[in-house]
A = this chain, B = another copy of it.
């Protein structure tokens, strides 16, 4: 390794360590922190982020980058070092293009966002946060202006899903919507399965024990992670060997803890699978929010809601809840956990309707950013779109435009596309893994997840942030991201489940 590269790595690794420390503060805030801790925690995080920002944008780091870049021609372009230099350059450019006075103004503005959103949602009154959201849209446009881009939303999208643009996302989303709307309609004409047994008395301790056991069985390593409770489930990494997940429990609902845990375990296994050589560097993280979501949804839905999985897990489940599930069979359970029902709330949506919720938000964000939709018209536009896509109408703002916190704690733009990109990827990755391991379903039914996890580790996890989504997807699946694998997956699954014709 050359001296300039060594010096660059040392500087980056110090920044990465401070970020790991800041992640621990966030984890604790949402898991174990007593109520009294809230007051000081913001100051602790701000002080740490301030140090990180200073180092990540320092002229010294710029010089180290330039010196290392002079060695790029000598390096394997796909090697860890080349990728590190490229990703570090991208991070440095993004951070240094944003003026520090903007960072301060946006922080000041958004500090109040969560509280304002909570109040407005409680009051079921969008007008209470309209001025706040108008200012957020203005600030998001200003942010966009710091970067060269074809579309005002592109820099905001690029922040969470590097390499993706409005131009590359829009055709995918249009095709997906065209496939989904008729499928939802067809399912809507069929009778619904019995689901009552999913709701009853499921004590927290048993739910947590079952969820943890299943997470460990699919491959989440609790020697290098742990499961805790939090208000909203999340996963967070401090290092490749310390990646933690959280879940939540509804004691009258069997599915909440179970599938939240499998979902977060999917995120966690991705970060635990990053190559050891990348640990402690800026490459030791997921490639994008889309790829991250592909891993969580793959384990939650394509595995966890599959029929073979419940061949394996049925004993565990009925041992944990013998009385509550007495008389219920695995087929019946499988139908119940795959019930499709158009609804108003994204986070409650099944896997068929879910992406219609997401794509609607994506389109509305873009319309707000390009000025074709005024903030004051958002509730009306929301109601029209969800009626046209899903055939349901919000009863007010709380189950309409105020249901998600995203636009009230960050920018407008880039907040949602990753969810649907991830769902598309999950099916395409799973199909490729199946092609490589034709007996994948049988292995899952036996509780053997090694072939699937091995494929994901080999083609995705170990690379961390080395490559962008397009490169990762092509290398892993032999083609660009498409909607066909996902739509094929849904049709193949739901045609027999709902007895649809014309499969």
Contacts and interface: CB of A to CB of B under 8 A. Distances in A.
A360 interface: no
Nearest to A18: B47
B39 A239 contact: yes
B241 A36 contact: yes
Nearest to A42: B17
Contact of A34 (B43, B225, B279): B225
A22 to B, nearest CB: 8
A13 B36 CA distance: 19
Interface in A23-75: 24-25, 28, 32-37, 39-41, 43-48, 50-51
A14 B44 CA distance: 8
Given A37-B242, A44-B17, A32 B226 contact: yes
Interface string A365-389: 0000000000000000000000000
Contact of A32 (B32, B41, B279): B32
A464 to B, nearest CB: 15
Given A36-B242, A279-B40, A48 B224 contact: no
A467 B432 CA distance: 69
A229 to B, nearest CB: 12
Given A17-B43, A51-B18, A239-B40, A34 B280 contact: no
A238 interface: yes
Given A24-B24, A32-B226, A17 B37 contact: no
Interface residues of A, number: 42
A221 interface: yes
Nearest to A221: B36
Nearest to A43: B17
B226 A40 contact: no
A223 B36 CA distance: 6
Give the number of copies in the complex.
2
Interface string A5-27: 00000000110011011101100
Contact of A224 (B36, B225, B279): B36
Given A20-B44, A24-B24, A47-B14, A37 B280 contact: no
Interface string A319-331: 0000000000000
Nearest to A239: B40
Nearest to A21: B44
A37 B224 contact: yes
Contacts of A46: 17
Nearest to A242: B37
A239 B28 contact: no
Contacts of A40: 17, 20, 238-242, 279-280
A19 to B, nearest CB: 9
A14 B18 CA distance: 15
A226 B32 CA distance: 8
Contacts of A393: none
A10 to B, nearest CB: 11
**Across chains A and B, which 5 residue pairs bring their CB atoms closest together, nearest first?**
A36-B224, A40-B239, A37-B242, A36-B241, A17-B47
14 contacts: A14-B47, A14-B50, A17-B43, A17-B47, A18-B51, A20-B40, A21-B48, A35-B224, A36-B221, A36-B225, A37-B238, A37-B239, A40-B240, A40-B242
